[in-house]
Amino acid sequence: VSESLAGLSIQAPLVVSLPRTLAFGVGVFERFLDQLASGAASRIFILTAPPTLRHAEAVASRAGTAGKRVEIWSDIVAEPSVRTFAAAADSASKLAPDLVIGLGGGSVLDVAKLVAALWQSPSEIDASFGIGKLAGRTTRLACIPTTAGTGSEVSPNAILLDERENLKKGVISPHLMPDESWCDPALTLTVPASVTAAVGMDALVHCIEAYANRFSHPMIDAWAIEGVRLIASSLKQAVLKGDDLDARSRVMLGALYGGMCLGPVNTGAVHALAYPLGSEFKIAHGVSNSVLLTQVLAFNLPAATRKYADIAVAMGVERGASDAQTAERGLAHLKRLSKEVGIPQSLAEVNIPRDALHRMASAAMTVTRLLDRNPRTVTLEDAIRIYQQAYSC
Ligand SMILES: NC(=O)c1ccc[n+]([C@@H]2O[C@H](COP(=O)([O-])OP(=O)(O)OC[C@H]3O[C@@H](n4cnc5c(N)ncnc54)[C@H](O)[C@@H]3O)[C@@H](O)[C@H]2O)c1
Ligand SMILES: [Fe+2]
């Protein structure tokens, strides 16, 4: 491996966008309700999913009492596709909202972000995939996450499955940054253990892939490494004892930091190789990432040794005789963590047929916007080998 990971220097220009209002903490959902009632919005479109419907109804009830028109759309049952987006946008266009609220996991938030930007012209979705393709957004957007995972509430990204090509595609645009994000850990108390584990691992991967990234930057490193520390120290407790609000809060703050890394730095090969598991086999995003994590990191290790050693130490691993040994211990720690929180460990365990690996590798190679950021160059042959290693590890 001839490359080594330098990242950007402290002098490199960096532009960070965040919501104008970013609230975090137990009880901020109530504050959101208070300010909504007295706010200027008059037609409010709320997107949510069945498990979080009662919170959306609380929003609707408070806004309705204040004389506002409100519609709730709750038809998001899995990770969203272009068709899901089109149905939501169609429903929104009947209300012509001046405020869109996404209240749910990353699946809901991503659709809400796109609906806010495109409800007047939903057919533009196809031309919007990629970086910086959205013309703008005139409808206000508020996001209220109910999982501690994607960080979509602070990222300029939205991911949809394009069923026509069976590919997960991203819209990346500053116009997708919400105006307001309200992160209340109490809303995550009802997330089932298996979902807590998967979305928490996704958040951990955001932090790891941003910290050890060709475009890593000292300012973002601070969020990323703190996110690693928070999630690694508390995810197991949040999974095993779901009513521990302190553990839930720590994981949610870690996930928020992970999300804050996505705009300025973004992720790498773990995410790129994970996408085909979601698009073709409908494996949940967090599980897809987690099942590939240690194999991709082992591949990257020679190009990111020091950064991976830092990550290991942030996870509480004792330093070894060298960075390489510390980094190896970190990989073992990650493997143990994903086992302890009950996540499948191999591609075989999530029922991927062995003959799909070549096809998945070709699909992953199209995700150049992330592969370009990975600390080590990934070729098609490398991708196939990584999938093979993850097959029955
Ligand atoms: N925009 C971004 O920056 C970004 C980053 C990473 C991932 N993503 C995308 O986000 C999606 C995944 O989002 P996710 O991991 O949050 O999962 P999710 O939104 O699909 O939620 C997982 C499950 O948990 C349920 N749920 C959500 N909140 C709950 C609560 N409080 N109580 C009980 N159940 C609850 C959901 O209804 C769903 O069934 C994927 O499509 C992925 O590609 C986006
Ligand atoms: Fe992710």
> What's the 206 CA to ligand 2 centre distance in angstroms?
6
- Residue 178 · residue 148 · CB < 8 Å: no
Per-residue pLDDT band at 350 (split at 50, 70, 90): very high
pLDDT digits (tens, 9 = 90+) for 260-297: 999 999 999 999 999 999 999 999 999 999 999 999 99
Is the Cβ atom of 202 under 6 angstroms away from ligand 1? yes
Residue bearing the CA closest to ligand 1, atom 33:
191
Residue bearing the CA closest to ligand 1, atom 13:
106
> What's the 21 CA to ligand 2 centre distance in angstroms?
23
pLDDT for position 374:
98
Residue bearing the CA closest to ligand 1, atom 35:
191
Per-residue pLDDT band at 2 (split at 50, 70, 90): very low
Is the Cβ atom of 274 under 6 angstroms away from ligand 1? no
Is the Cβ atom of 159 under 6 angstroms away from ligand 1? yes
pLDDT for position 257:
98
β-pair type (157-162, 167-172): antiparallel
pLDDT for position 6:
78
Which residues are in the CB-under-5-Å shell of ion ligand 2?
Answer: 202
Task: Tell which one of 147, 184, 202 to mutate to probe ligand 1, the residue whose CB is within 8 A of the most ligand atoms.
Answer: 147
Per-residue pLDDT band at 4 (split at 50, 70, 90): low
Average pLDDT over residues 85-111: 98
Please give the Cα distance from 98 to 39 (Å, whole number): 11
Contacts 24+ apart (CB under 8 A), 310-317: 310/211, 310/225, 311/208, 311/211, 311/212, 311/225, 311/228, 314/225, 314/228, 314/229, 314/232, 315/228, 315/229, 315/232, 315/233, 316/232, 316/233
What value does the mean pLDDT of the chain take?
96
Which ligand 1 atom lies nearest to the CA of residue 176?
Answer: 1
State the SS3 of 62-114: HHHHCCCEEEEECCCCCCCEHHHHHHHHHHHHHHCCCEEEEEECHHHHHHHHH
Q: What pTM did the predictor assign?
A: 0.96
Residue bearing the CA closest to ligand 1, atom 5:
150
pLDDT for position 5:
82
Average pLDDT over residues 350-372: 96
pLDDT digits (tens, 9 = 90+) for 54-74: 999 999 999 999 999 999 999
* Residue 235 pLDDT greater than 70, yes or no: yes
* Closest-approaching ligand to the CA atom of 279: 1
Average pLDDT over residues 356-364: 97
Is the Cβ atom of 279 under 6 angstroms away from ligand 1? no
> What's the 203 CA to ligand 2 centre distance in angstroms?
6
pLDDT for position 77:
83
> What's the 150 CA to ligand 2 centre distance in angstroms?
5
Which ligand 1 atom lies nearest to the CA of residue 190?
Answer: 32
pLDDT digits (tens, 9 = 90+) for 76-91: 988 899 999 999 999 9
pLDDT for position 392:
84
> What's the 179 CA to ligand 2 centre distance in angstroms?
21
Q: Check residue 84 and give left, alpha or beta (phi > 0: left; psi -120 to 50: alpha).
A: alpha
Which ligand 1 atom lies nearest to the CA of residue 145?
Answer: 28
- 């996404």: which residue's tokens? 102
Distance from the first to the final alpha carbon of the chain: 24
Per-residue pLDDT band at 1 (split at 50, 70, 90): low
User: Would you mind telling me the total number of residues written for the chain in this entry?
Assistant: 393
pLDDT for position 8:
86
Which ligand 1 atom lies nearest to the CA of residue 78?
Answer: 20
Please give the Cα distance from 305 to 5 (Å, whole number): 8
